[in-house]
């Protein structure tokens, strides 16, 4: 009731067009960079060319628009029917890069083969989240807040490696012998510090746009240092027609299992996001109406990720940051989501948008992503801190972090293992996450 009183427009209200567009623009500011960053990181790690990177960015925007519409509109049993914004998820980056490495042939990346393994695994594993939506009350007993917190922390910790690699200049700088140069590290540090500066501002618009402003400043400096070549944009077409299964599909059991675990945890995170969104929107957070809404939202989370693989994009998840935007603006109307969805679809259909962001130097992107990944790790620690830290919890955390970080820090430990084992456990997130689930289920403490 208190939340309802603080709202200007409720869930089913239709704000005037000016207020609707203003609220939609603020949501776009909060999510735009987060949507395009995962494809940029994955493309950099797998050394994709500019055209492919631009296409993947465009498809991420396009699919995020469709996914947001499904969540807000609720089509049959699919969707939460709330102002839930979906976008490309950071959680899947590490296992996706691992799946993409299956495209290495004789030491050289076969781009289409790598992407076919990625989208094949993402599509099959998405079924996990859809199944979880149907058995939601039981899954919450297996994937507890402690397990979720450990996995989220590991996601942030493992991704920091990708972030710091980008800060040094990425794979291109390694090949050119300029990795870790003062220019690359200085530019990354400038971006990181500028984001922190804008984020701690008392002006909410500067806080919302802190990452965008940090990237713009970094790109401005990079351009004058000769690190951005806009002449390459002339190759971009005028319009993109989405082509389902453009790169084909290939399947690898290890990649599917690794991604399936992340989908499992994502379902639990989605439940938390839907609960928070319902609370902020003045809707019930318990009872049959809420459970129907939560199951529909998680089902949509999985279905939209399946759809993303069809349209050559990466898994989607509900963005938690938009819950804060609803609180700030006082606008919980799901009709605002239709405008956000339309804007994302339109942006995704113009290749110039994707290719423009593909020109961002790795070190500039690294300065922003390093902070983002650190924030993900901190979010996991907050989840853990909200649980009771008893002897069992300490043991579960200790063994999970030890197992997860060990394969991330010393990947050669799996050299003598069969390929199936290597594919499953090469990701610290997968190894640590599976360990957390098993340890939490089987460790019993005798008083």
The distance of Cα 279 from the centroid of its chain, to the nearest Å, equals: 23
Q: What is the pLDDT of residue 313?
A: 94
Kindly tell me the burial class for residue 111, based on how many C-beta atoms sit within 10 Å of its own C-beta (0-12, 13-18, 19 or more).
middle
Q: Is the pLDDT of residue 426 over 80?
A: no
Question: pLDDT-derived band of residue 112, with 50, 70 and 90 as boundaries?
Answer: very high
Burial of 99 (0-12, 13-18, 19+ CB in 10 A): buried
Query: Mean of the pLDDT values across residues 271-295?
Result: 84
Going by C-alpha positions, the residue among 190, 155, 156, 186 that lies closest to residue 169 is 186
- pLDDT, residue 306, reads 96
- Judge contact between 306 and 316, C-beta under 8 A: no
pLDDT digits (tens, 9 = 90+) for 89-111: 888 888 899 899 988 887 788 99
Q: Mean per-residue pLDDT for 337-347?
A: 92
How confident is the prediction for the chain on average, in pLDDT?
Answer: 85
Instruction: List the beta strands (DSSP E) in 307-352.
Output: 316-318
pTM as predicted: 0.78
Reply yes or no on whether the pLDDT at 3 is more than 60: no
- Measured over the CA atoms of residue 8, residue 10, residue 16 and residue 22, the dihedral's sign is positive
In the structure, what pLDDT confidence band is assigned to residue 312 with cuts at 50, 70 and 90? Answer: very high
Instruction: Please write the tens of the pLDDT for every residue from 11-55.
Output: 888 988 888 888 888 788 778 878 888 898 899 888 888 888 889
CB 150 within 8 A of CB 400: yes
Expressed in angstroms, the distance from the first to the final Cα of the chain is 43
For the ranges 39-53, 108-122, 134-148, 307-321, the lowest mean pLDDT is seen at 134-148
């Amino acid at each position: 009731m208190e939340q309802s009183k603080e709202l200007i427009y409720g869930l089913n209200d239709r704000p005037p067009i000016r207020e609707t567009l203003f609220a939609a623009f603020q949501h776009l500011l909060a999510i735009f960079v987060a949507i395009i960053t995962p494809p940029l990181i994955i493309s950099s790690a797998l050394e994709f060319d500019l055209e492919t990177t631009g296409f993947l960015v465009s498809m991420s925007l396009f699919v995020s628009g469709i996914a947001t519409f499904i969540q807000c509109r609720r089509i049959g049993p699919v969707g939460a029917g709330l102002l839930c914004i979906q976008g490309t998820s950071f959680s899947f980056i590490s296992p996706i890069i691992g799946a993409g490495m299956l495209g290495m042939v004789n030491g050289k990346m076969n781009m289409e083969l790598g992407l076919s393994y990625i989208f094949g695994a993402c599509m099959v594993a998405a079924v996990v989240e859809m199944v979880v939506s149907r058995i939601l009350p039981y899954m919450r007993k297996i994937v507890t807040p402690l397990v979720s917190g450990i996995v989220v922390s590991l996601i942030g910790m493992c991704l920091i490696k990708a972030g710091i690699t980008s800060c040094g200049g990425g794979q291109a700088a390694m090949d050119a012998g300029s990795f870790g140069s003062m220019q690359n590290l200085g530019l990354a540090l400038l971006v990181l510090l500028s984001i922190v500066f804008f984020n701690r501002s008392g002006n909410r618009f500067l806080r919302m746009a802190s990452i965008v402003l940090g990237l713009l400043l970094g790109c401005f400096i990079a351009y004058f240092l000769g690190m951005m070549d806009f002449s390459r944009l002339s190759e971009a077409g005028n319009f993109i027609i989405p082509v389902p299964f453009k790169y084909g599909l290939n399947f690898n059991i290890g990649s599917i299992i690794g991604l399936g675990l992340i989908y499992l945890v994502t379902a639990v995170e989605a439940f938390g996001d839907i609960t928070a969104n319902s609370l902020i929107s003045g809707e019930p957070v318990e009872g049959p109406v809420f459970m129907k809404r939560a199951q529909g939202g998680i089902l949509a989370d999985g279905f939209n990720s399946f759809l993303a693989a069809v349209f050559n994009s990466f898994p989607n998840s509900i963005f938690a940051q938009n819950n804060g935007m609803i609180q700030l603006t006082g606008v919980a109307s799901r009709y605002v989501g239709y405008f956000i969805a339309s804007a994302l679809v339109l942006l995704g259909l113009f290749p110039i948008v994707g290719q423009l962001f593909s020109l961002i130097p790795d070190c500039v992107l690294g300065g922003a992503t390093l902070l983002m990944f650190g924030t993900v790790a901190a979010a996991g620690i907050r989840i853990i801190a909200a649980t009771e830290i008893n002897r069992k919890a300490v043991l579960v955390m200790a063994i999970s972090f030890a197992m997860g970080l060990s394969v991330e820090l010393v990947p050669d430990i799996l050299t003598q293992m069969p390929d199936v084992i290597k594919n499953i456990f090469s990701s610290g997130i997968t190894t640590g996450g599976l360990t957390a689930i098993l340890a939490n289920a089987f460790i019993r403490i005798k008083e």
